[in-house]
Amino acid sequence: MLDPEGTLTDDEIIASAKEKGLSAVVEGDTVVYTMTKSQRDEMLADMRSSARESADELVADDTNSVTAVDFNDAMTSFTVSVDPAKYNAMEGFLVLGFYMQGALFQQFTGVAADDIDVTVDFVDNSTGEVLDSGSFQEMRDNLDQ
């Protein structure tokens, strides 16, 4: 996640963390960062802000049916309002982005891996009727089968 090409040395990872006021310990392919509570809170706020920006960009893109995206502070629940006349099954793949944002956010808040879940409801923007729904846990369970 932090070095997808595997180009950074352990020393470079540690130095990069130190530049950001963090400490890092590298053990094999695992890196453990230590930060203050205020650094963590700032990071979580940045993650929420980034999710909001992504949602706003999705709404602004008139090539899809999305008219609004709302999510709770814990990023466990996303409601995607859509124009049902434009909504198509392919837009269901948007859940993957919401699952990733919510799951990563929850992981950084300390939620145990087995307890992480994100629900996404696609709703008719006029009636509020749920057109499609899914959850991160359901997806994980289906992948395990």
User: Average pLDDT for consecutive 10-residue bins of the chain (145 residues)?
Assistant: 74 88 88 90 94 96 96 97 93 90 94 95 96 93 81
- d(C-alpha 143, C-alpha 145), whole Å: 5
Confirm whether 55 is domain-assigned.
no
Residue 6: its pLDDT value, please?
A: 75
Total number of domains in the chain: 1
Given this model, what pLDDT does residue 29 score? 80
Residue 31 included in any domain: no
Domain membership of residue 115 (yes or no) is: yes
For residue 88, the enclosing domain spans 64-144
Please enumerate in sequence order all residues whose Cβ is within 8 A of that of 56, keeping only pairs 6 or more positions apart, or say none: 69
* CA distances for 12 relative to 9, 24, 43, 128, angstroms: 5, 10, 21, 50
- In degrees rounded to 5, what are phi and psi of residue 101? -60, -50
Q: Which residues contact 60 (CB under 8 A, 6 or more apart)?
A: none
Is 12 contained in some domain? no
The pLDDT of residue 103 = 95
Helical segments of the chain, H only: 10-19, 37-60, 95-109, 136-144
The model's pTM is: 0.83
The span from the CA of 89 to the CA of 14, in Å, is 44
